[in-house]
Structure 1
């Protein structure tokens, strides 16, 4: 999910809620490595004649350097330009002409490319992704074209979008040394001044088979698929080992208060942000549950109190933004009828203090488990979701692909006492950024 999508999700408060749980089925898979280091994950699902072919590269904006930001997101676009065997501009046309869909997205930690085809087009999907990996055409024409595409995307999704810079303004305060300091779309000045040689070097370093996961889910024959994968991918040369950043931030020990201005909004917002642990930690699982308690639907605590009862907020949300190295826990509110932002801040803090003091009820606890199970089922309903979740599990959970099947057990193991303790551990005023996000006169 791109940053702009996450922000829209946050502002809308669109958290799924369910009052009944379904029986979650285990996701079966086969995995192995090619000699060039490409990790392959295969999931067979004969329920529909559809297949999802995906490649996740372990490169995101955190792999960039100051002065050369936005590269990972830029390559999300650039690698659709064409290859030695696919004419410029033909990639997406080939997909559409064969009944498929395709796209890509970039986060701070990875870039994800995919095609969804009728299952009889599996070989086409494999060929397309092998072409992208083996010999894309990266030239000045493509770079110049995609510069304009990325600029327009930034104008539409960030610069001209209400609250479009909110996450950027929060993260630059929350992270000082770590590359999470900047957002995936990066700086247009950096992209403008970047040389072709720098783009070529970035590709050579990160878009190699030993830094990628090929994840396929759908109506496939496992043995046949293995043979096709060998045919298309085994000749791609292995790259140099990719070392991920290892940057430690000093703990936040004093509340930081900042103000940002947005010419695209008429209503202000108040945000509190806490730096939290990596997504593969148990505490991150607990923080996900805390966000559901606070804003998981119309019956959640913040929504009921601030929107329904007091009518002091038009929108309110609590969101655990999990990433590979750290996370960010965000609380967000837009006032109603000129309610002071400090009043919303007081009420959000009071709800967190209650979690830090009192155990949630057994009824709320059971609802959390139901929500978690339904979320798991929904995430693995479609082949593309399964392919992505398998790749995520391998890439971000210590090469443990089976994490996809361990998530529910992890959640069910969380106790009410642990919810209280994690709230006490991370969600304190002296550990946060408070951002007043205000309208700017045009």
Structure 2
């Protein structure tokens, strides 16, 4: 009885902790279509202002790839009221930090300031939306910046092209077939008119969400938002109609070459559903089961026990329209790639063919509970989550209830989803090899 009481008390404590993590927020729309989300947390004198635009690498036409990532840089160039090159100086001189990032589906800009500089953060983002200076000098400057980033992060970095190779082989029609950063020849070929048109199409209030999180007064913040963002004209509605992929009905084998590596890699990849689908959550759990930590199935078997791989992993690349599921390994010594494929498939097959243990299932649930508690621990992370759940998932309340999806996933469902997506006849196997040998 005492043990049951202790367990009951522990579960109650967990429940109270999770309840205490609930994120309270208020959301509304301006007349120009800009969605606004406010989260008040007066525990520390900090505030995050952020804008997420529903535009990413997939939003392009053939021959004009990489525009969204290019704009991530270009929209720091300057505005009608901010001198070229002064953006970061303004932020740092007022005690703030800022950054931006782009995925295949969205672009995110944010600043973190002492809360007495909230007005400055709102002004900066309204300037970016309303008054960006887009001219030939800025385009040429940022073309060189993006080229250097591509060289450092992709072209000259070991395994830097691996994800791009997976995308190229899993997708033949959808824009996910091309890398988020794009191809340099496309940026070089872009005219100033192309760039201006792209800005007018996507960087408009009705294609964005503004999140303000932290030490704020709600009434004052709403007034400032109306003053700065209310006058910005609404853009045309963005219409997307990307082609659907044909199903993969038989295994595909291919090779890719990377001159920056000495060890090859074996990659098994599968096309999976977009991250809004319930099955995508199940796939996240499967990847955690297979490769999260030294006690995971793949690591324990192939690295610790059989000493076949120096590194092994499985992860679900979440995207809006389709996901990509990867299982990969780097060999040890004389281990060949076929052995790696066989051993990885054996572990995936176990998930398809039998229920994981109740102990492993509970361990998974505990990990996701812990991730949920940690994800809402600071206003910077909360701001990003609120923006993403609204803009990409269409449900802001997921910031509080997404954990319920993971809690409801059963062992039977894990087996069912593995059988649905992680089958040998639906996979693309890539031998990722050192530089291709020169022919005579």
Q: TM-score range by the shorter chain?
A: over 0.9
- Classify the secondary structure of the residue corresponding to 2:58: helix
Aligned equivalent of 1:409: 404
- Find 1:245's aligned residue among 225, 237, 241: 241
Give the aligned partner of residue 369 of structure 1.
365
- What residue in structure 2 maps to residue 420 of structure 1? 415
How far, CA to CA, are the matches of 1:424 and 1:380 in structure 2?
33
1:191-227 Cα shifts (integer Å, max 9, x gaps)? 0110000000000000000000001111111111111
Q: Which of structures 1 and 2 has the larger relative contact order (alpha carbons within 8 angstroms, sep 6+)?
A: 1
2:216 matched residue in structure 1: 220
How many residues get paired?
422
Which of 413, 420, 431 lines up with 1:436 in the alignment? 431
2:160 alignment partner in structure 1 = 164
Q: CA RMSD, aligned part only?
A: 1.2
For residue 9 of structure 1, what is the aligned residue in structure 2? none
Tell me, in whole angstroms, the C-alpha distance in 1 between the residues paired with 2:336 and 2:407.
39
Deviation at 1:404, TM superposition (A): 1.2
Alignment of 1:105 with 2:101, yes or no, is: yes
Classify the secondary structure of the residue corresponding to 1:61.
coil
Which of residues 165, 169, 172 in structure 2 aligns to 1:173?
169
Q: Is the 8 A contact 2:175 2:242 kept in 1?
A: no
CA–CA distance in 2 between the matches of 1:406 and 1:63? 30
C-alpha distance in 1 between matches for 2:272 and 2:41: 36
Structure 2 gap segments, 5+ residues each: 1-12
Query: Does 2:306 correspond to 1:310?
Result: yes
Distance 1:425 1:62 in 2: 26
1:72 aligns with 2:68: yes
Contact 1:29 1:41 in 2 (8 A): yes
Equivalence map 1:36-435=2 (5 Å): 36-397=32-393, 399-435=394-430
CA offsets, 1:132-167, max 9 Å, x none? Answer: 000100000000100110000000000000001111
CA distance in 1, matches of 2:59, 2:236: 15
Q: Contact 1:62/1:245 (CA < 8 Å) preserved in 2? A: no
Distance 1:52 1:369 in 2: 31
CA distance in 1, matches of 2:277, 2:14: 25
Question: Would you say the 8 A contact 2:150–2:181 is kept in 1?
Answer: yes
Return the offset for 1:424.
0.5
Matched residue, 2:4: none
Deviation, structure 1 residue 244: 2.4
> Which residue in 1 is equivalent to 2:5?
none
TM-score, structure 1 normalization: 0.94
Q: Rg: which structure is higher?
A: 2
- Return the offset for 1:21: 7.0
